[in-house]
Structure 1
Amino acid sequence: MIPAPPAPRPPAALGWLLLAPAAFAALACLVVPSVYTAVMSMRSARLLSRRDEPVGLANYVTVIGEPGFWRAVAFSLLVTLVPVLVAVVVAPLLALALDRGGSLVRRGGRVVLSLAVITFSPIAVVAAWTRGLRPDASGLATLVRGVAGEEAALTFPLVVAAMTFGVVCALATLAFLPALRGGTVTPAMFAVAALAVLTLLAVGLQAFTFSSALSRGGSGGTRTLGAYMLFEGLAAGRLGAAAAAATLTGVLLGALGLAAVAVVVLGGMRLHLSPRPAGPGRPVVGVLALVVVVAVGLVLAWPWITALFGGEETLPVTLGTYVRTWLPALAGALVSVAVAYAAALGIGGLRPLGRNSEWLLLPFAPWALAGVGPFSLATWTYIRDFGLMDTIVALVPPMLISVPALVVLTLLCRGLAERAQAGFLRGVVLPSLPMAGILTGGLTLVNAQDGLWPLMVSQRPDNAPATMLLSQSLNSYRNTTVDVGITTPLPVMLLALAAVVAAQLLYLDRLAITMGRSA
């Protein structure tokens, strides 16, 4: 029997067309704000003054000469130390145990770990732990009292490590699992570990919620670079100095992003769907490892759990609060992932530059690990000048493209294209579409928990999303309490849980990571 010829693939020129929206989005929301911030950093702009004169590199000299800047750099790195150890030591061991435990243990572990991801809310965790400051408080949460003492710089990272253990371990484990089934286990595991370290370093540099809310504004020794930048811009009113700090932060993040994309491209990383044959496995080891990690996670999450079900009298929350929280978050995710998906189909699926097509990710690489923080001053200026402050439009995250989604989807489209036998639509587009939906849902959760952007564009409580209301209650001198669960409402969590279970069991459990340059 003569095999059927492979289905024709659309012309590679279509790849350039699909890439065009991403190029425009990156120019509009990444390049222009970065340049604007760099220009602002060389002017004497102040928040409450119209005086705005060129000052050259004076702001950089001032910022670099301040001990507070270097303390912020050191503290940002210190905060990431324990999470990095969790990600590169605990997570791969747990992933190996789950992988060797058989399909039932592995899938059950995926679902359990996903719970830690979808329920994680930085501001809610901080709000729960700050109850340890009360005179009658006891237990683990009382460790938070040390963040205001003389040893705050040492206590603070330990408290943050306890708060983030569950989500860091869960995300890292879920990232390592596909590396164990792609046929190139050792290089894939090292590549995932490198990406985890780079990502955590980037998160530590930009972290704002913990530094700002946990220490009630962040004392000089407990500010990350993200908190330092916002303090200079909004509290001290030195927009020029804040822009200089933001530019320096952006340079560091750009280097980390370039390193991450280099790991992906030079290592020939790609994703594909590969059903695993059912096997008996060693369920005892997998179950035991999962139980130990879950037990540790529950102990460390106990302050949040007790606050969630504490039964305290709280202020009522209107439907509008939830609309302002989740509608802009969803809108931002839909746009940014859709643009990234189109570009990924062009780069990874149609491969306009052949085997070198992944190098088209390089222009996006400096922003691969950057959040809204380094561009927030520039984007905030646009919102203010257009009169959009305190509107629901302003609450939409100002990122028209998600570069992490672009990278992930490109690697998946590349892997699918190499194995496609049914044409571009059935072999690449349809199999990759669920991943675009998964990333949209994940980014919606991330956007809804953002504590920085709403702080900058919402000044009235009646226009504040849930994270802003909870943050305001922490810094308020009034005796008011906002429900810790306001950022994780039950209907949304149930919907997210149903989606996560379906995604993990039907799609993500089939995902595999392969390394090595293909012909």
Structure 2
Amino acid sequence: MISPIPPRPPSPALGWLLLMPAVVGMLISLVLPSVQTVLLSFESGGALTPGTPAGFDNYGRVLGDGGPFWAALGFSLSLVLLPLLVALVAGPLLALALDRAGGLVRRAGVVVLWLSLIVFSPTAVAASWLRGLRPAETGLVSLVRSLGDPATAPGALRLIIAAATFGVVCALAVTAFLPALRGGTPGPAVLAVAGVVVLAMLAAGLQAFTIGVALTRGGPRAATQTPAGLQYDYGFVMAQPGMGATVATVTGLVLGVLGVAATIVAVATRMRLSITPRAAGSAAKGGSPVAVAAGAAALVVTVAVTLVLTWPWLSALTEPAESTGTGLRTQVNTWVPALAGAVVSVGTAYLAALGIGGLRPLGRRSEWLLLPFAPWLFVGVGPLSVAGWSNFRGMRLLDTFAVLVQPFLVSVPALLVLTLLCKGLAERTDRDLLGGVVLPSLPMAGVLTGAVTLVNAQDVLWPLLVTHDRGLATAPVAQMLQLTQFGRTAVDAALTTPLPVVVIALLAVVAAQLLYLDRLTLTVGGESRWPIPATPA
């Protein structure tokens, strides 16, 4: 009997070819704006007038004695202390409980937690908490009244953000830690994931913008100012792009260090993702009765705490809002550009991930090709907004529908995740590239496209900067504008989470969890090509 001929591996040159679109996208949408931001930081002048050389004067004003940056940086990092505690304590414990429970409890738990991500909207959160300024309001929402005093405002804003993001942080933490618990090296894998989670949350705190700006605008007396808010004030409120670019440059440098550190953690630990086969006849299996009860109890407690902490938003949904003049056009402005940007940025990242993780042009060292992208792993639109606004103004694209698309041609977070997945799939398959890597990784590309779409749609900074035509307002911008209208008594809290979108996203999450994500594993350490155990349902 003649043994079957193993499939011939594709040429590594194809890997370099697949990487090229991401490299071009990085140069155009990440490197170029970053360089322009640095150059702008050495200029002074108005947004609409030619800049003049300023040397290091801007840096002296921002970073020197009495400069506002360091206080803003410290406060911004303090905003993530409570969420970080939730992510590192509650997240792993809940993930462990759900993993031990198995079966229906694990699947249902992840879907329920993901609902917090689907409906999370920073502008809606801010709008709902501002209802606490009414004299008749009592309970948790009345905490917002403490924002008027410089002595109590910082602590109050920390508590509000911790409460509003509790469910989101739990969902993200469980999503990150569950695959690590299912892999063959749960201890080291959990530690590696925890390291990346810490770095990611610090980066998120550095870019905190929407809730703080909507609730306090950095006040009172700059007590709640953040680097993102400071950059916005300098660059777009005071029309001093050089000063705004200075804040953006320093913030971008810190974010770059965090991104490089996270990438090194992933690559140095040989982190990889994979999809395990489902065990035959295991659909009804779960953990022991004690484990099932513990998992269900942990889920119920988490959901109960989430409901209590998000009650200001939940109660705002049932409150009749005044007519806003928004309709289908606002939703089109919100979701079509968000989806378009996600398809482009994740699609480019997916091709590069196939090249790096699947075809491995540098062999075992191929993951180090992620390092040039690493400085922008955690960079959002904020640090690049000053240069981005200037570029789109020069192209005469401001106040156009096209400019609503987020200005990223490659999603670096998606590139990292998809590369780790393609690497894990390539190590554990004896099939060709199409059957062993491409087809099993396509669903993850779809999941990430949906996730990036949700993030894009809830962003308020970019559409707020590049459009002034009310007919081009996205739902978050329309909500933000409602908050600034004098005499408005109620804001439409559901504007940013339309029911059809929530239903579609929830159905997609259910399908992804049942058919795909429930079998995702994360491992670290040496390469392995032997079959891995099937995941029990």
* Length-normalised TM-score, structure 2: 0.94
The residue type equivalent to 1:410 in the other structure is T
Structure 2 CA distance for aligned equivalents of residues 487 and 431 of structure 1: 33
Instruction: Report the secondary structure of 1:513's partner residue.
Output: strand
Q: Indicate whether 1:330 and 2:329 are aligned.
A: no
The one of 370, 373, 376 equivalent to 2:379 is 370
| Kept after mapping to 2: 8 A contact 1:355/1:518 | no
**Residue matched to 1:146:** 146
**Please, which runs of 5 or more residues in structure 2 have no aligned partner?**
529-537
**Residue matched to 1:307:** 316
Q: Indicate whether 1:64 and 2:63 are aligned.
A: yes
1:266-277 equivalent positions in 2, closer than 5 A: 266-275=268-277, 277=279
1:61 Cα deviation from its structure 2 partner:
1.1
1:482 Cα deviation from its structure 2 partner:
3.7
Render the CA deviation track for 1:60-85: whole Å, top value 9, x for unaligned: 11110244211110001100100100
**Residue matched to 2:46:** 46
| Kept after mapping to 2: 8 A contact 1:216/1:475 | no
**Please, which runs of 5 or more residues in structure 1 have no aligned partner?**
none
**Residue matched to 1:192:** 193
Structure 2 CA distance for aligned equivalents of residues 101 and 408 of structure 1: 26
The one of 232, 237, 248 equivalent to 1:235 is 237
Render the CA deviation track for 1:276-316: whole Å, top value 9, x for unaligned: 64443120000000000110000001110110112344324
**Residue matched to 1:456:** 465
**Residue matched to 1:254:** 256
Q: Indicate whether 1:10 and 2:19 are aligned.
A: no
Structure 2 CA distance for aligned equivalents of residues 214 and 176 of structure 1: 32
1:389 Cα deviation from its structure 2 partner:
1.4
| Kept after mapping to 1: 8 A contact 2:44/2:241 | yes
The residue type equivalent to 1:172 in the other structure is A
| Kept after mapping to 2: 8 A contact 1:123/1:213 | yes
Distance 1:113 1:2, change over 3 A: farther
| Kept after mapping to 2: 8 A contact 1:271/1:416 | yes
Render the CA deviation track for 1:358-397: whole Å, top value 9, x for unaligned: 0000000000011111100000001112221111111100
Render the CA deviation track for 1:179-237: whole Å, top value 9, x for unaligned: 00111001110111111111110010011101211114544111211111111111122
The residue type equivalent to 1:93 in the other structure is L
The residue type equivalent to 2:19 in the other structure is L
After TM superposition, the structure 1 stretch with the greater mean CA deviation from structure 2, 88-97 or 232-241, is: 232-241
**Residue matched to 2:531:** none
**How many residues matched?**
518
**Residue matched to 1:280:** 286
What stretches of structure 1 move > 6 A for 4+ residues in a row?
none
**Residue matched to 1:118:** 118
| Kept after mapping to 2: 8 A contact 1:42/1:57 | yes
**Residue matched to 1:517:** 526
Structure 1 CA distance for aligned equivalents of residues 2 and 484 of structure 2: 73
Structure 2 CA distance for aligned equivalents of residues 130 and 213 of structure 1: 9
Structure 2 CA distance for aligned equivalents of residues 4 and 405 of structure 1: 36
Distance 1:2 1:104, change over 3 A: farther
* Length-normalised TM-score, structure 1: 0.98
| Kept after mapping to 2: 8 A contact 1:466/1:486 | yes
**Residue matched to 2:534:** none
| Kept after mapping to 1: 8 A contact 2:125/2:211 | no
1:92 Cα deviation from its structure 2 partner:
0.1
**Residue matched to 1:90:** 90
Render the CA deviation track for 1:29-79: whole Å, top value 9, x for unaligned: 00000000000000113235x252111111111110244211110001100
**Residue matched to 2:444:** 435
The residue type equivalent to 1:274 in the other structure is T
| Kept after mapping to 1: 8 A contact 2:78/2:158 | yes
1:421 Cα deviation from its structure 2 partner:
1.8
Instruction: Report the secondary structure of 2:8's partner residue.
Output: coil
Structure 1 CA distance for aligned equivalents of residues 448 and 526 of structure 2: 26
Structure 1 CA distance for aligned equivalents of residues 170 and 3 of structure 2: 47
The residue type equivalent to 1:254 in the other structure is G
Structure 2 CA distance for aligned equivalents of residues 263 and 18 of structure 1: 25
**Residue matched to 2:532:** none
Instruction: Report the secondary structure of 1:431's partner residue.
Output: helix
Render the CA deviation track for 1:315-360: whole Å, top value 9, x for unaligned: 2422110100001000000000000000000000000000000000
After TM superposition, the structure 1 stretch with the greater mean CA deviation from structure 2, 221-230 or 478-487, is: 478-487
| Kept after mapping to 1: 8 A contact 2:61/2:67 | no
Structure 1 CA distance for aligned equivalents of residues 78 and 277 of structure 2: 40
The one of 379, 382, 387 equivalent to 2:388 is 379
Task: Note the aligned Cα RMSD (angstroms).
Answer: 1.3
**Residue matched to 1:55:** 54
| Kept after mapping to 2: 8 A contact 1:273/1:511 | yes
After TM superposition, the structure 1 stretch with the greater mean CA deviation from structure 2, 280-289 or 311-320, is: 311-320
Distance 1:391 1:51, change over 3 A: closer
| Kept after mapping to 1: 8 A contact 2:104/2:286 | no
Structure 2 CA distance for aligned equivalents of residues 83 and 190 of structure 1: 18
Distance 1:303 1:31, change over 3 A: same
Structure 1 CA distance for aligned equivalents of residues 491 and 155 of structure 2: 29
After TM superposition, the structure 1 stretch with the greater mean CA deviation from structure 2, 15-24 or 478-487, is: 478-487
Instruction: Report the secondary structure of 2:494's partner residue.
Output: helix
Instruction: Report the secondary structure of 2:273's partner residue.
Output: strand
Q: Indicate whether 1:212 and 2:221 are aligned.
A: no
1:400 Cα deviation from its structure 2 partner:
0.5
| Kept after mapping to 2: 8 A contact 1:37/1:377 | yes
